[in-house]
Amino acid sequence: MRNIKIVLQYDGSRYDGWQKQGNTDNTVQGKLEAVLERMCGRPVEVHGAGRTDRGVHAEGQTANFQVPEHFSPEGVRDYLNEYLPEDIAVTWAGEAEGRFHSRLNATGKLYRYRIWTGRKKPVFERKYLYGLGHGLDCGAMKKAASLLTGTRDFKSFCGNKKMKKSTVRTLFSIEIREKGEEIEMDFYGDGFLYHMVRILTGTLIEVGEGKRSAESMTEILRAGDRRAAGCTAPPEGLCLVRVDYDRKQERKG
């Protein structure tokens, strides 16, 4: 069997998230597995690096799966692109070492959140921006962001109230850029909890609106309570940009 690693992009607007679920077959993972089952003549389990939520997009999602030896990475890529919907595309495919796992072996993930501060979103970008409709104090937001980076317990920024595993993660950086009427926020870390990026974004927006102080981030982290943090920002502004790995694990040989 070959362990195939792929990089793909998708517009998440019409999907119920990445992860296959019992109550819907309209997921990105489900679409991939359906095409691979058709190709291989048997079920194929796809492992994704990031379990993006309903409505969240990806420029550089990574996934891996096992196929029989006679399928080449290029052949798999071409078959997937022929039969996948137009809003899902495989941009790269290769063979990974046998024990490579796209989620468990990831060393870093970059998510980008885009906010439109103008009164009306640009027509052709409307599905990929959160239309906030007013300006923000980016200086205060950057100050707050600096208090959130590092290895910390992000329980207050986890949307899963029943989370039993560790909520400690390392957030390497948060970059906030103003580009005219758009604000881009890049979150780079070793892993993210359920809704974590969207809750971080919602909380930083509240700082930018003057509803919270930058210094309150320390108190929110210490609280360990979802109710202490801000709102969950809408999904459409979020995109998984890139997943990083130790190069030794990426390919055979």
Q: How many residues does the chain have?
A: 253
State both tokens at 250.
Answer: 């990426």
User: Which listed residue (16, 25, 53, 137) is catalytic?
Assistant: 53
- C-alpha 48/C-alpha 50 separation (Å) is 6
| Number of CB atoms found within 10 A of residue 207's CB | 24
Catalytic residue list contains 225: no
- C-alpha 86/C-alpha 80 separation (Å) is 11
State both tokens at 205.
Answer: 């927006």
> Catalytic residue numbers?
53
